[in-house]
A and B are shown apart, each in its own frame.
Chain A
Amino acid sequence: MSSKSKEQIGRIVLIAVLVLLSLIIIVPLLIMLLGSFKDSAEVTAFDLKLPKKWNFNNFPIVFKEGKLLRAFGNSMLITIISTSITIFVSSLASFVLARRNARLSRFLYYFFFIGTIIPMQIMPTIRLFSAINIYGGYSNIIILYSALNIPFSCFLYTGFIKGIPKVLDESAFIEGASTFKIYLYIILPLLKSCNITVLILLFTGIWNEINIPLYFLNNPLKRTMPLSVYQFFGMYGGSNWNYVFADLTLATLPIVILFIFMQKQFISGLTEGAVKG
């Protein structure tokens, strides 16, 4: 056998193996999707058989019972505001951290860096929010997500801004522009690709996270998507897995649709975060 055809066979075997592996990813998600159309008896087999009858009405029931619209709105509100705050204050701070090479700015850089590694202290933070009377609502969670995500975002922005030449800022400064004006009119427009990276990183991270809402939301009406999904599972996991699957499917849909339309940005965004960080 020539080495060419040997290579060809090797490639075919590799593709076959990868197809099988990709099924390992797809099958669990397919069980969820198919299960969401079944009735409560049929779903308990948890298999890949197509539903005997496609129960589309699982979705409106779950949508109402699971209060998904409200949860979606809550998640949107929390994610969008905390992401915006984080992007704004981090890029602002990073502009100075990237430009100054003084001892203080290097210290601040490493100081922020600590926040990317160590886990937060939960109960003292709750006490702090109680003391200033905002514990349990939207605002404490938005502030907290911002505080938790600023370190990593600063890290990314600082690295990115270091790659932008200083010449522009200096000429603007000579013409009398303040630091903020330089940031606003010169740096910010150049941050587009870094903003997309940080946006995707923070959006998926906050959207999917459950630990913080568990501790910091005490009003059932303010539940985020992952929290509402878990509570819904607690209510129906014993009796109606078709509803649970329908709920999971609906909760998965928004981010997966976003992912399908923005694959490139997602993959490069989530990984650039790691590589540059």
Chain B
Amino acid sequence: MRNKKHIYSYALVIPALVFFVIFFIAPSIYGIYYSLTDWTIGKEKVSFIGLSNYKTIFQSSELRLAINNTFLYAIVVVIGKNLIGLLLALAVNTKMALRGYFRVVFFLPCVISTIIIGLVFVPILHPNGILNNFLGAIGLSFLQHSWLVDTKIVMLSIAAVSIWQWSGYHMVIYLAGLQGISESYYEAAKIDGASAFKRFQYITFPMLAPTFNINILLSLIGGLKVFSEPYALTNGGPGKASQVIALEVFSKFGKGQWGLGTALNVTLAIFVLVICIPVLHMMRKREVEE
């Protein structure tokens, strides 16, 4: 067998592998090394300094804030996008007028660049912007906030813009999941007199499990890697209040602190791996059981 040509030669994998290994895997491995060095702009020699970059990261209150912000943001967008996406999917899954229009409109923002969306929301969320004026006009002035200026809520405002943009995307994935559930289950339940809520609880919810996993994983990875939303809306401000890990990597890059920046980048990779691998593992297990 060994000398005979195989019908499916591995040679065809080589181009993809070359791109992937040289330009993705190799820098990732090098990154681990560089994160342990004092690599800086203009410095002739790069020397090994052990874990000291990582110590800097976890001792600096600014960088810890960026890490906390990233987690806060990720949690909020995972909950927001999935909850709203699911509710929208359930709504537009019923037969009604304007159904096609709703799907298209809710989906529309996700074909537009996040940078553009972010910039459109800058004046809308301004303290004297249309959102606050509108809240005032309908008698909800107690809800008015300095959305992007108040350091306590700025992360939530940024998350809200992302939820605005991407809920429709998750809606469509949930919709695909809902349409994969056979009508016969619902008919049987209706005959047995199950209420709409019971039908959701005992049929829709468990049958949607794989769809939940995909949606949660996608929004989680996107949330942890977040960059464009705060970059466009606040650029990390006011002060450092809305810095996230990826933005800090960019700022360290700009300052020429490449060893520290790479350590932050590796930290982000570790967070993503540690959080997402168990989720993936769960997904696999469930698929096998099916």
Please report A residues at the B interface, Cβ cutoff 8 Å. Answer: 11, 14-15, 17-19, 21-22, 24-29, 31-32, 46-48, 85, 88-90, 92-93, 95-97, 99-100, 104-105, 108, 112, 115, 117-125, 127-128, 143-144, 146-148, 150-151, 154, 169-170, 173, 178-180, 182-183, 204, 207-211, 214-215, 225-226, 229-230, 233, 237, 241, 244, 248, 251-252, 255-256, 258-259, 263, 266-267, 270-271, 274-275, 277
Contacts and interface: CB of A to CB of B under 8 A. Distances in A.
Contact of B23 (A27, A28, A144, A248): A144
Interface stretch (B61-69, B75-83, B118-126, B142-150): B118-126
Contacts of A146: 19, 23
A184 B103 CA distance: 37
Interface of B: 5-13, 15-17, 19-20, 22-28, 30-31, 34, 39, 88, 91-92, 94, 96-98, 101-117, 119-124, 126, 129-130, 133, 164, 168-169, 172-173, 176-177, 211, 214-215, 218, 221, 225, 227-228, 231-232, 246, 249-250, 253, 258, 261-262, 265-266, 268-269, 272-273, 276-277, 280
A255 B111 contact: yes
Shortest 10 CB-CB contacts between residues of A and residues of B:
A121-B31, A147-B23, A93-B16, A208-B113, A124-B27, A125-B27, A124-B30, A89-B15, A179-B9, A89-B16
A183 B164 contact: no
Contacts of A230: 115, 119, 231-232
A180 B272 CA distance: 37
25 contacts: A18-B92, A21-B106, A28-B120, A28-B121, A46-B126, A92-B16, A119-B225, A120-B24, A121-B31, A121-B269, A123-B261, A125-B23, A127-B34, A151-B20, A170-B7, A180-B12, A208-B112, A210-B231, A214-B250, A237-B122, A248-B116, A251-B116, A252-B112, A267-B107, A274-B214
B21 to A, nearest CB: 9
B94 to A, nearest CB: 7
Contacts of A118: 28, 269, 272-273
B9 A22 contact: no
